[in-house]
């Protein structure tokens, strides 16, 4: 297969971790007989510096003309002035929206070799295997934003169709896994949440009768996620709650640096990115954990190219390397290895 990949390194540790991910992609392609063509473009703060906009037209055009997109991270203190009208994050949000990537898949598992790093009792972590399906192109992220004198307003809206399509993604995924969906909202307070609950109940009942559905309020879900994480299979929720709950869920894995994501939607190119941010404090020092990006490459192979064996080969290599004791600085203070060394071990294990 020939794969045409747009690479958007972005800011902070983004460039380092995307180089690591691409090295692994090359190795998998070589081993399984595929060819990879990569083209790089600017996004985020790097794009603001170079051309004044966080998502230049050329970047969007390149993404539309690619089979899949590998993204590093965006943002940093240099572009965080609250007075500023352009922000790196706008580039990422617009990319998700322009490409119609309404479903963001964030899997969370606990690697047995890392259990000691997790600040939660080991017996609670047994059997944790959850997949958060975060709605990605609606809600308060994309509602009307304005100021009225000394008042600031962020609107939150969802349509029936926006909820239906992401719930269907969750339903299909749950059917192929543990056959349980937990839908998270704040239906005791928010009208959009009541819509979510109604639509989810109907879609699951009519289209996925063999998948169990439960509803949780986001505040108690925040508690259950760390007190009984193995009780969940697929979690589906709106944009903001999904953003917050997945950073929380990352604690279960031992480090935010380990977690990948896939943003998919209406069938065009998907965006694959680690869930961590740009980590400006450690940028350029070759100490960032590349595993979140490497596992995002695995998700890319699985979701954009239907290359399951190739995806599994990366996941197994990462697992073997962690079993072998390799640790970046986020995982151990005791003789950690660098970003490039970790990527090289994964490449060798493939």
Residues with a catalytic annotation lie at 141, 186, 219, 243, 247
The count of C-alpha atoms lying within 13 angstroms of the C-alpha of 55, restricted to the half-sphere facing its C-beta, is 17
Please say which residue, 10 or 290, places its beta carbon nearer to ligand IPM: 10
Determine if 139 is a binding residue for ligand IPM (CB under 6 A): no
Cα-to-chain-centroid distance, residue 12: 17
Taking CB under 6 A as the binding criterion, the range among 87-95, 147-155, 161-169, 337-345 that sits at the site for ligand IPM is 87-95
Ordered DSSP codes for 165-180:
HHHHHHHHHHHTTTSE
Determine if 89 is a binding residue for ligand IPM (CB under 6 A): yes
Q: Tell which residue, 275, 311, 268, 269, has the closest CA to residue 41.
A: 269
Residue 106 CB, nearest distance to ligand IPM (Å)?
8
Residue nearest to ligand IPM (CB): 89
Judged by CB under 6 A, how many residues of this single chain contact ligand IPM?
7
- Which of positions 222-261 make contact with ligand IPM (CB under 6 A)? 243
Helix axis angle, 88-98 relative to 57-64, nearest 10°?
A: 30
Residue 296 CB, nearest distance to Mn ion (Å)?
14
- Which of positions 239-268 make contact with Mn ion (CB under 5 A)? 243
Determine if 9 is a binding residue for ligand IPM (CB under 6 A): no
CB count, 10 Å around CB of 68? 23
Taking CB under 6 A as the binding criterion, the range among 85-93, 156-164, 167-175, 213-221 that sits at the site for ligand IPM is 85-93
Tokens representing residue 285 in the block: 């020092």
Token look-up 């954009």 returns: 304
Residue 276 CB, nearest distance to Mn ion (Å)?
9
Which of 105, 108, 275, 347 is the binder for ligand IPM (CB under 6 A)? 275
Determine if 54 is a binding residue for ligand IPM (CB under 6 A): no
Asked if 294 and 343 touch (Cβ cutoff 8 Å), the reply is: yes
CB count, 10 Å around CB of 189? 11
CA dist 97 and 203 (Å) reads 24
Judged by CB under 5 A, how many residues of this single chain contact Mn ion?
1
Summarize as ranges the residues that interact with ligand IPM (CB under 6 A): 74-75, 89, 92-93, 243, 275
Summarize as ranges the residues that interact with Mn ion (CB under 5 A): 243
């Amino acid at each position: 297969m020939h794969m045409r990949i747009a690479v958007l390194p972005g800011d902070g540790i983004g460039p380092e971790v995307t180089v690591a991910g691409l090295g692994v992609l090359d190795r998998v392609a070589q081993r399984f007989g595929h060819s990879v063509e990569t083209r790089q473009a600017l996004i985020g703060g790097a794009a603001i510096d170079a051309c004044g906009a966080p998502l230049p037209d050329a970047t969007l055009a390149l993404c539309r003309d690619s089979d899949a997109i590998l993204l590093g991270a965006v943002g940093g203190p240099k572009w965080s002035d609250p007075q500023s009208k352009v922000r790196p994050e706008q580039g990422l949000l617009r990319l998700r929206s322009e490409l119609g990537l309404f479903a963001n898949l964030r899997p969370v598992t606990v690697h047995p070799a890392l259990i000691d790093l997790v600040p939660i009792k080991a017996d609670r972590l047994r059997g944790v295997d959850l997949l958060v399906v975060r709605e990605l192109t609606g809600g308060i992220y994309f509602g009307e934003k304005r100021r009225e004198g000394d008042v600031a307003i962020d609107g939150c809206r969802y349509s029936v169709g926006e909820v239906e399509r992401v719930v269907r993604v969750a339903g299909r995924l749950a059917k192929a896994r543990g056959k349980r969906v937990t839908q998270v909202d704040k239906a005791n307070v928010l009208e959009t949440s009541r819509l979510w609950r109604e639509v989810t109940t109907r879609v699951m009942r009519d289209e996925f009768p063999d998948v169990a559905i439960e509803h949780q309020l986001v505040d108690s879900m925040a508690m259950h996620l760390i007190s009984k994480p193995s009780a969940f299979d697929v979690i589906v929720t709106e944009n903001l709650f999904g953003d917050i709950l997945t950073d929380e869920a990352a604690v279960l894995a031992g480090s935010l640096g380990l977690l990948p994501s896939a943003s998919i939607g209406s069938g065009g190119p998907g965006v694959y990115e680690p869930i961590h941010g740009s980590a400006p404090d450690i940028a350029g020092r070759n100490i960032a954990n590349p595993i979140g990006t490497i596992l995002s490459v695995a998700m890319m192979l699985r979701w954009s190219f239907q290359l399951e064996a190739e995806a599994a080969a990366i996941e197994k290599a990462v697992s073997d390397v962690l079993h072998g004791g390799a640790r970046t600085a986020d995982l151990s203070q005791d003789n950690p290895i660098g970003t490039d060394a970790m990527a090289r071990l994964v490449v060798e294990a493939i």
